[in-house]
Amino acid sequence: MDQVLMSINATNDFVVKFANVNGSGSASANELFAKCILRMGVPVSPRNIFPSNIQGLPTWYEVRVSEVGWLGRRGGYDLMVAMNPQTWDADVAGIAPGGYLFYDSSKPLPKAKFRDDVTTLGVPLTDIANQNWDDPRQRQLFKNVMYLGALSALMGIERDVIVQLIGEQYKRKPALLEPNLHALDLGRAYAEQHFGPIGLRVERRDAVGKRIFVDGNSAAALGLVYGGATVCAWYPITPSSSLAEAFEKYCAKLRVDPETGKHRYAIVQAEDEIASIGIVTGAGWNGARAFTTTSGPGISLMNEFIGLAYFAEIPVTVVDVQRGGPSTGMPTRTQQSDVLFCAHASHGDTNHVLLFPEDPHECFEFAAAALDLADRLQTPVFLLSDLDIGMNQRLCEPFAWDEARQYDRGKVLTAEQLEAGAAFGRYRDVDGDGIPYRTYPGTHPTRGSFFTRGTSKNADAKYSEKGEDYVQNMQRLQRKLETAKALLPQPVLHRAAKPAKHGVLYFGSTAPAMNEAIAKLDADGMPIDALRVRGYPFADSVLAFIDQHQQVLVVEQNRDAQLRALLIEQFEIDPARLVPILHYDGTPITARFIVRAIGERVHAAEGARLRDDKVA
């Protein structure tokens, strides 16, 4: 039976997925595609889906175009740019009915390889590239630019915008500009001659505004530069390496003494994560702002030092760009599964400050804040980013810096204060906030020296095995974490338009999907209040929010409901009051998933209530 092909028609609201071979140079063409649409004033959110491999294995790049501005992953795709024969079958199978398949038609493929309900757009990219270039590498690279050209013609992306972007890209290599434009036009010409415009359209809007387009790792690195970090020690690991690399790149531009050319930063690629955190601990002890960046396996190795820094009260900033665990887990997939581990890292009773950025803007802000918090609280501070935020470019509010802002170096006694006779006992709680005073090594010839150790000690830093000294110290550390609550970024409340019985708690990279889900639920007549948690220990307002709602759902991207566990622990509440909604297959959570999951829970709760009412 013949089917009538109903093609998807959508303007500024669809998903394009590129299937490529790792190492084929497709990344820059794909990024250009996303940027063109942004430059036409339409929000996009791209996501890299890549294997733990350098060359040869499949990679995907998914671009969601959303004029309304939803930046979470949508799920599904309307157009597949199938450039990888290896993954062809699954790539084609996944296209939404009525969608489009763009491919290299140089080699004929059997009919069985195609779908009836999908519009096929074949462009002989290899043939055209072979006719125009001799060098195999060039053929490959320009094939990528050709498909960009063909897509732009098919979808109405303005040529001028692409030309300008390519021009910016090759500002310093003008020789490459002309061949790129040639490739672009070859692709455009072929598409224009052989196909009409397709149903997926990009139309110019003004929906991007002043926002910037950047990945979270670069943003965090820049925040650490602005926040005054001078020492970075790290060991390469996906998905955090690009943070250290970005720090180096920014420092080389922004942290070189203009007169002498000397560096106001030191970056050590250490032999492992134990050394990384050791270096950071030593630098923090000695009064420099220092950080390390890593992912789950690195945190595992750092545990002993984290306990030392907690107990000996040394400022340490750790960026954990989370990936799928446990063990090597899913090294190139995203998760929020180090939350509980970081909150209590190391043996014995420990408790650490966590920050949960939602996007690159907050990565910048919280990274700078982490350095202040570590100094103020004299303790490890974790910036818990993840692969989804860290390694994907995201549209976000521009970075901002108040010119009058001063670094908070915390309670440090100077030589003058010591000379003037300031009383000093390293672990005395002088101000009642649990935070003691410290001195930097080398400050004063006769006053202010003390011995730092991981063993128990009295308030004057003298070795002590007395139970009361130990207990007092541990209680003071607890008080210190209590003080932290008010210093951390406070939760962000989104109240439903109508009074809502249900509330949802979430954090970090779940935010874009949650924003969309909340709007959808509202439109579906299921209003829900939402509170985005931004720091741990949790503010008291989180408990108030829980108390205000009949049912509170906790949405997170791990198996064990880790944030929920921390909430139950801190607030000592009945676990039944917090309903977990968990997504942990390594892909970023979607609004579709959240809406369905919340819908089910809310209906179940309402149904149960109705039944109870009848019984009563």
Footprint (CB under 8 A) of other proteins, residues 235-254: 254
Could you say whether residue 298 binds other proteins (CB under 8 A)? no
Binding to other proteins (CB under 8 A) within 193-212 occurs at: 210-212
Binding pattern to other proteins, positions 250-279, x when CB under 8 A? ----xx-x--xxxxxxxxx-xxx-xxxxxx
Helix (H) or strand (E) holding 91: helix 88-93
Measured from the CB atom, is 312 or 353 closer to other proteins?
A: 312
Binding pattern to other proteins, positions 160-199, x when CB under 8 A? ----------------------------------------
Q: What's at 135, amino acid-wise?
A: D
Contact 312, 452 (CB under 8 A): yes
Strands in 162-218 per DSSP E: 200-201, 212-215
Helix (H) or strand (E) holding 568: helix 562-571
Task: Please give the C-alpha separations between residue 372 and each of 380, 456, 507, in angstroms, as whole numbers.
Answer: 11, 26, 22
Cβ within 8 Å of residue 317, ≥6 positions away: 224, 229, 280, 289, 290, 291, 292, 367, 370, 371, 374, 380, 381, 383
Could you say whether residue 416 binds other proteins (CB under 8 A)? no
Cβ within 8 Å of residue 261, ≥6 positions away: none
The β-bridge partners of 493 are 531
Could you say whether residue 221 binds other proteins (CB under 8 A)? no
Stretch binding other proteins (CB under 8 A), from 3-11, 397-405, 492-500, 520-528: 397-405
Contact 103, 122 (CB under 8 A): yes
Q: Looking at 290, 370, 381, 481, which residue binds other proteins (CB under 8 A)?
A: 290
HEC readout, 310-354: HHHCCCEEEEEEECECCCCCECCCCCCCCHHHHHCCCCCCCCCEE
Could you say whether residue 403 binds other proteins (CB under 8 A)? yes
Stretch binding other proteins (CB under 8 A), from 97-105, 175-183, 442-450, 564-572: 442-450
Could you say whether residue 443 binds other proteins (CB under 8 A)? yes
Binding to other proteins (CB under 8 A) within 99-128 occurs at: none
Could you say whether residue 391 binds other proteins (CB under 8 A)? no
Shortest Å, Cβ 454 to other proteins: 6
Q: Distance (Å, rounded) from C-alpha 191 to C-alpha 121?
A: 9
Strands in 148-289 per DSSP E: 200-201, 212-215, 231-234, 266-269
Stretch binding other proteins (CB under 8 A), from 445-453, 542-550, 558-566, 574-582: 445-453
Binding to other proteins (CB under 8 A) within 300-329 occurs at: 304-305, 308
Q: Looking at 221, 225, 319, 369, which residue binds other proteins (CB under 8 A)?
A: 225
Could you say whether residue 441 binds other proteins (CB under 8 A)? yes
Contact 77, 15 (CB under 8 A): yes
Shortest Å, Cβ 318 to other proteins: 14
Could you say whether residue 605 binds other proteins (CB under 8 A)? no
Could you say whether residue 436 binds other proteins (CB under 8 A)? no
115 Cα distance to chain centroid? 36
Measured from the CB atom, is 308 or 553 closer to other proteins?
A: 308
Could you say whether residue 575 binds other proteins (CB under 8 A)? no
Binding to other proteins (CB under 8 A) within 21-50 occurs at: 38
The β-bridge partners of 385 are 321
